[in-house]
């Protein structure tokens, strides 16, 4: 089976993450990606994970503690637009899961006015060969607007410095997420 | 490095082609894809390769003969819109390389009026789990028109029966090809 956007985001990040790397989970949510990243960087690496909702921090803390992955993780209860305040080391990878926290308040959604600055911070921190995966859910109100702004922004970044790939299923009525991958050359 | 559309088309086909399979190269051109397919299906499989230009047949025949891959290949000097006249066995894969034959007459281009019927024939022949890769060059006059028609056509095929993936680099000024992949569920 062809990989869906979420599965493919993990594959393309797994290809370039090494033990000991610093990485960012820009949208912690229920901590699935944080777990994946913490396992990938190992005990000698570090994951900086962001979310504005305390629920996300709590769920992720429980999850990672149970899996003995908490020591290589910093859970940050702040907007991903403030990444620069918390991370200064070069990163090999970052992941964004845009939309709303599943099972939670659907009125709290990500918005391009903060996700684009956050992506921009990650671009500046990214090492050569590093990748950023942006999984865009866009079926909810405001989702298409965010996707369009991010796509426009990424279409114009310097092609000498970055490649931007769009990975999208076309014939699905339920608007599955679209994956954007940025790689630093 | 992220795989370009041509590289990724081979990866997704390689994943599902087995020795002994029947497959189609709908746009033989200079025979690169025919060679790849003939190697993948092995001596017990078969490649049906189409091109309307005699030059393409000649180049590909020379290439495959030198590589000892000609016995598992039928080179057909006819339009890919006539696939039904030549192939009735189920296929596991097909590839299309849309545009014009590199290094040859740029006025002879593929056109949606024949490529869509050809894709449709391949969809009917495709086995469950099989894949069709359509690599769309669209920088030449007429190319964008073909891409738009094919994208529209594939966006509407039955999602219960097929998945359609679009794989595209966004920030490139030289319009690298866009890859469309159809998988039969």
User: Which residue in the block uniquely carries the two structure tokens 């746009």?
Assistant: B27
Check residue A136 and give its pLDDT.
Answer: 96
Q: Is A126 exposed, middle or buried (0-12, 13-18, 19+ CB in 10 A)?
A: buried
Provide the whole-model pTM.
0.94
Q: How confident is the model at residue B103 (pLDDT cuts 50, 70, 90)?
A: low
Tell whether B160 is within 8 A of chain A (Cβ).
no
Choice among A90-104, A170-184, B123-137 with the minimum mean pLDDT? A90-104
- On the question of pLDDT at B105 being above 80, the answer is no
Query: Cα–Cα distances in Å, from A45 out to A23, A48, A123, B169?
Result: 8, 10, 19, 30
Cβ-contact A167, B164 below 8 angstroms: no
Query: For residue A158, which residues of chain B lie inside 8 Å, CB to CB?
Result: 171
Nearby residues of B39 by Cβ (< 8 Å), 6 or more positions away: B67, B69
Q: Would the CA dihedral through B88, B92, B97, B98 be positive or negative?
A: positive
Check residue A102 and give its pLDDT.
Answer: 64
Check residue A28 and give its pLDDT.
Answer: 94
Note whether A154 contacts B171, CB cutoff 8 Å.
yes
Q: How confident is the model at residue B111 (pLDDT cuts 50, 70, 90)?
A: confident
> Which CATH number covers residue A89?
3.40.50.150
Find the CB nearest A155 among B162, B171, B180.
B171
Note whether A159 contacts B165, CB cutoff 8 Å.
no
Proportion of chain B above pLDDT 70, given as a percent:
97
Mutation to test the B interface, candidates A147, A155, A157, A171, most B Cβ within 10 Å = A171
B82-120 exposure pattern, b = at least 16 Cβ within 10 A, e = fewer: bbeeebeeebbbbbbbbbbbeeeeeeebbebebbbbbbe
For residue A71, give how far its alpha carbon lies from the nearest alpha carbon of chain B (Å).
31
Range of the domain at A151: 5-184
How far apart are the two ends of chain A, measured CA to CA in Å?
30
Cβ-contact B60, B31 below 8 angstroms: yes
User: What mean pLDDT do residues A44-51 have?
Assistant: 97
Nearby residues of A81 by Cβ (< 8 Å), 6 or more positions away: A114, A115, A117, A118, A121
Check residue B158 and give its pLDDT.
Answer: 94
B169: left (phi over 0), alpha (psi -120 to 50) or beta: beta
For residue B60, give how far its alpha carbon lies from the nearest alpha carbon of chain A (Å).
30
Q: How confident is the model at residue A141 (pLDDT cuts 50, 70, 90)?
A: confident
Check residue A140 and give its pLDDT.
Answer: 86
Check residue B139 and give its pLDDT.
Answer: 87
Choice among A73-82, B65-74, B109-118 with the minimum mean pLDDT? B109-118
For the stretch A111-131, pLDDT in tens is: 889 999 999 999 999 999 999
Q: In the predicted model, what is the mean pLDDT of chain A?
A: 94
Check residue A107 and give its pLDDT.
Answer: 73
User: What mean pLDDT do residues B43-59 have?
Assistant: 95
Question: Could you give the ipTM of this predicted complex?
Answer: 0.94
- In chain B, which residue's Cα lies nearest the Cα of A153? B171
Q: Quote the CA–CA distance of A134 and A93 in Å, as a whole number.
A: 11
For residue A181, give how far its alpha carbon lies from the nearest alpha carbon of chain B (Å).
9
Tell whether A171 is within 8 A of chain B (Cβ).
yes
Q: Where are the beta strands (DSSP E) in chain B?
A: 22-25, 46-50, 73-76, 91-98, 126-136, 162-169, 178-184
Helix/strand/coil percentages in chain A, nearest 5: 40, 25, 35
Check residue B140 and give its pLDDT.
Answer: 86
Check residue A99 and give its pLDDT.
Answer: 86
CA atoms within 13 A of residue B120's CA, in its CB half-sphere: 12
Find the CB nearest A181 among B2, B158, B166.
B2
User: What mean pLDDT do residues A141-166 have?
Assistant: 95
Q: In the predicted model, what is the mean pLDDT of chain B?
A: 94
- On the question of pLDDT at A94 being above 90, the answer is yes
Check residue B39 and give its pLDDT.
Answer: 98
Note whether B163 contacts A171, CB cutoff 8 Å.
yes
Q: How confident is the model at residue A155 (pLDDT cuts 50, 70, 90)?
A: very high
For the stretch B69-93, pLDDT in tens is: 999 999 999 999 999 999 999 999 9
- In chain A, which residue's Cα lies nearest the Cα of B157? A171
Q: How confident is the model at residue B102 (pLDDT cuts 50, 70, 90)?
A: low
For the stretch A48-63, pLDDT in tens is: 999 999 989 999 999 9
- On the question of pLDDT at A20 being above 70, the answer is yes
How many domains, in total, are found in chain B?
Answer: 1
User: Which residue in the block uniquely carries the two structure tokens 């000024």?
Assistant: B173
Token pair of B123 as six digits: 């969809």
Query: For residue B166, which residues of chain A lie inside 8 Å, CB to CB?
Result: 166-170
Cβ-contact A179, A136 below 8 angstroms: yes
Tell whether B74 is within 8 A of chain A (Cβ).
no
Cβ-contact B62, B97 below 8 angstroms: no
**φ, ψ of residue A169 in degrees (nearest 5):** -90, 130
Note whether A171 contacts B183, CB cutoff 8 Å.
no
Cβ-contact B86, B25 below 8 angstroms: no
Which among A34, A63, A68 is positioned nearest to A48, based on CA atoms?
A: A34
């Amino acid at each position: 089976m062809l990989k869906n956007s979420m599965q493919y985001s993990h594959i393309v990040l797994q290809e370039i993450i090494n033990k000991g790397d610093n990485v960012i989970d820009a949208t912690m949510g229920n901590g699935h990606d944080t777990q994946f990243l913490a396992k990938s960087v190992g005990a000698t690496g570090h994951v900086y994970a962001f979310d504005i909702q305390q629920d996300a921090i709590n769920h992720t803390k429980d999850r990672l503690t149970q899996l003995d992955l908490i020591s290589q993780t910093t859970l940050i209860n702040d907007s991903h637009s403030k990444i620069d305040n918390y991370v200064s080391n070069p990163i090999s990878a970052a992941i964004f899961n845009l939309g709303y926290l599943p099972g939670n308040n659907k009125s709290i959604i990500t918005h391009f006015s903060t996700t684009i600055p956050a992506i921009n911070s990650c671009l500046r921190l990214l090492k050569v060969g590093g990748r950023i995966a942006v999984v865009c859910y866009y079926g909810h109100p405001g989702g298409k607007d965010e996707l369009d702004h991010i796509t426009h922004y990424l279409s114009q970044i310097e092609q000498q410095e970055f490649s931007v790939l769009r990975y999208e299923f076309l014939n699905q009525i339920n608007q599955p997420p679209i994956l954007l991958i940025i790689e630093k050359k």
